[in-house]
């Protein structure tokens, strides 16, 4: 990514936007994921890869909860962009 404040790339359409955050509290663990707009696909891949890992307490239900949370946040962002 270039350092010029006027430039941006397709992966990060709003370089000045604040990171999104997904949070999951499960038993004694707290999972917090922060990412920039445009990185959603990478986050979803990480969620799936982690859910597949048998040595991790993060499972497919957790991945589904966080992916739903991400979708809800994106929906709200789109609503906020609509006029009126």
- Per-residue pLDDT reduced to its tens digit, 36-80: 989 999 999 999 999 999 999 999 999 999 999 999 999 998 898
Q: Evaluate if residue 3 carries a pLDDT over 60.
A: no
SS (H, E, C) the chain: CCCCCCCCECCECCCCCCCEEEEEEECCEEEEEEECCCCHHHHHHHHHHHHHCCCCCCCHHHHHHHHHHHHHHHHHHHHHHCCC
Please report the pLDDT score of residue 7 as a whole number: 32
Q: Evaluate if residue 4 carries a pLDDT over 90.
A: no
- pTM for the structure as a whole: 0.74
Please report the pLDDT score of residue 23 as a whole number: 96
């Amino acid at each position: 990514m270039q350092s010029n404040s006027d430039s941006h790339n397709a992966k990060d359409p709003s370089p000045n936007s604040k990171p999104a955050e997904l949070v999951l509290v499960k038993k004694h663990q707290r999972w917090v994921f922060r990412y920039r707009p445009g990185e959603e696909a990478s986050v979803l891949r990480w969620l799936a890869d982690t859910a597949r890992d048998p040595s991790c307490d993060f499972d497919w239900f957790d991945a589904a909860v966080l992916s739903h949370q991400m979708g809800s946040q994106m929906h709200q962002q789109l609503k906020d962009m609509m006029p009126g």
